[in-house]
Every structure is written in C-alpha cells, then in structure tokens.
Structure 1
Amino acid sequence: MVAGSDKQRFAFDASGERVRAQQGHSVAVDLQLAPVEPPEVLYHGTASAAVPAIRHEGLHRMKRHHVHLSPDEETARRVGARRGRPVLFVIDAKALHEAGGVFYQSGNGVWLTDHVPPEYLREL
C-alpha cells in the first residue's frame, strides 16, 4: 500500500510496522509533524467553482486537518485539474509565516497550514 500509492499518501510509522496517512485528510490522525519555516511562496490549485469563496474568505481546511499547498505550479495545476480547468493561487507563505501562520511539510512534500487568509493569496 505504501509503495503503490501514486501520490505517496501513506507512510510507515517510526516502528516500521504500522501504516499512517501522510496528511491525515478527514480522519483524526497524529501526523507527528513539527512546524517548519516555509519557502517564500507556495501554490494552491483548485476548481473554478471555488474561486469566489477563496477570494472572499481565503483557503480553509474544510473537512481536512489542514489546507494542502503545493511547492510548485505544476503540482498545484495537477491538483486543481482533478475537477476541470484548474485555477492557481500563489500563497505569500513567507509573509503569512512572519504574521504567525504555522506550516508543516508532510513526508511526500505537501505543505500544510490551518488557514490562508485572502490577503496572502494572489490568483495566477
């Protein structure tokens, strides 16, 4: 299951005997991630139907543990394309972090945070 996951959604725990989710999604999981300083910018890909709410309210975690952010445009574009033509947002992660935003990076490279207010977003 760990090796066959195309997005590397799963990993072994420290014991190597149990499988856990990398990001947790909607299941209550201790991801065992420590806060880290993010890169200057991160990206979020979404479907066009979500854009008005994102512009107004920012990015919310919805039913997940965190907002999922991508380290590059290509990955964000693939994520956003799952439901049609993608729309990309650039996140000023450095400014959000300096303002107190907490970031984590999962084992498969996905960046996580609780909320991205609209003032830290720019639509591409």
Structure 2
Amino acid sequence: MMSRDTIVDTSKLLSYVLRHRPDSIGLQLDTNGWADVDALLQRLAEHGKPVARELLDRVVANNDKQRFAFDATRTRIRASQGHSIQVDLALQPAQPPDVLYHGTASRFLKSILASGLRAGNRQHVHLSGDVGTARRVGARYGFPVILRVDTARMRADGAVFYRSDNGVWLTGPVAPRYLRVLDGNSRNGD
C-alpha cells in the first residue's frame, strides 16, 4: 500500500516537472503542455526519482485538486493549470459566476489591496468558485484571508476568464477596485 506521504511527494514532484521545470529531467512538453507518459517515467527514473505507473495513475486519479490530467488515450499527461512556463492549455473563454474568490495569506493583503492580484510567475491569476476552497488555498501560505472578486464588473470592463479542466477559474490581473476582503466568519462569501 502506498503511503500518503509518497502520494503527496509524487504530486509535488509532478507539479515541479509538469508546471515549471520539465527541462530539469530532460523532458519535452508540447505546446499544450502535454508530456508522453512513458518518457516522463523514463526521465524521472534516469534522474533518480523513479515513479511506478501505478503510483502515477493513483496520483492523477486521487489528487484532491485534480492538478493533473491524462489525455483520452492515457498516454499523455499534463498539469491542469499553474504553469510558469509558456504553454497553451487551449482553454476557451468561459463566463464565470458574478463572484469568485481568492485565498491568500494575511501578510500579502496590504500589497494586494494596493496593486491587485497578479499572476506572478504563473500565466494566470487563479480564482475559486467557493469560499471554502479559497480558504484552503490561503491557509497553505499562512493565516488565510479571503478576497471576494467582482467578476461581473470585471467582465463588463472587458476581462476574459477561462475554466481549467479541474474547475479553477483563470484570468489576467485583477485590479484592487474588483476586490473586497470578506469577514473572517463568512461562510458563503456574502
């Protein structure tokens, strides 16, 4: 039986390779971020990080955020979003709900309220459809703060949104005028 630590460690390794540094193991991604599964497993083994196909399948199937996806033939794999390298996920513009959420750590709040949300080293700003998910994201970086994002107003002002395969909403920079800090006791974002 595979331990939770093994699954988490493998997920982190795959995130690093498939989102940020495929070159670290000599792997090539296509323009849409796909990698050949056999090549991935071979390169990982050659670099002292062997991953069995069974473990890879389990990580993809059971990742709580569905960070990775196989293609229909299960011979290619990619990260669903979060890339710092240039890839075209071939996502189509989508209409989000009127409000989305962003979880962050309290130590970043002053800067965000002054200059807005930026993608940083990623291609897009990531937004959540519910407060609970945003709170979990923010808690990964410290004491969580939830921001309410006025996506209806952003759309009216010309912003474009995409929804990744795992349900994360993606967009460009979010100006401070579209953000509101939620009360720490809020459950539904209102």
TM-score normalised per structure 1: 0.94
The residue type paired with residue 19 of structure 1 is I
Tell me the secondary structure at the aligned position of residue 8 of structure 1.
Answer: coil
Tell me the secondary structure at the aligned position of residue 170 of structure 2.
Answer: strand
TM-align CA RMSD: 1.3
Shift of 1:6: 2.6
Shift of 1:32: 1.4
Gaps of 5+ in 2: 1-55, 183-190
Counterpart CA distance in 1 for 2:155 and 2:137 is 23
Question: Residues 21 and 31 of structure 1 are in contact (CA less than 8 Å); yes or no, is this contact kept in structure 2?
Answer: no
> What is the correspondence of 1:43-54 to structure 2 with a 5 Å cutoff?
43-54=101-112
Shift of 1:16: 3.6
1:92 counterpart = 2:150: yes
1:63 counterpart = 2:124: no
Counterpart CA distance in 2 for 1:110 and 1:75 is 10
Aligned to 1:22: 80
- Which whole-Å deviations, capped at 9, do the CAs of 1:14-67 have from their partners, x for residues lacking one? 554210111142132221100111100000000011101110111000001100
The residue type paired with residue 123 of structure 1 is V
Counterpart CA distance in 2 for 1:30 and 1:20 is 11
The residue type paired with residue 84 of structure 1 is G
Aligned to 1:36: 94
Percent of aligned pairs sharing the same letter: 58
Counterpart CA distance in 2 for 1:37 and 1:99 is 13
The residue type paired with residue 41 of structure 1 is V
Greater relative CO (CA pairs within 8 A, separation 6+): 1
Counterpart CA distance in 2 for 1:112 and 1:13 is 21
Q: Which has the higher helix share?
A: 2
The residue type paired with residue 94 of structure 1 is A
Aligned to 2:137: 79
**Aligned pairs, number:** 124
Tell me the secondary structure at the aligned position of residue 35 of structure 1.
Answer: coil
Larger mean Cα displacement after TM superposition, 11-20 or 38-47: 11-20
Aligned to 1:118: 176
Q: Which has the higher strand share?
A: 1
Instruction: Say which one has the larger Rg.
Output: 2
Gaps of 5+ in 1: none
TM-score normalised per structure 2: 0.62
Counterpart CA distance in 2 for 1:16 and 1:94 is 37
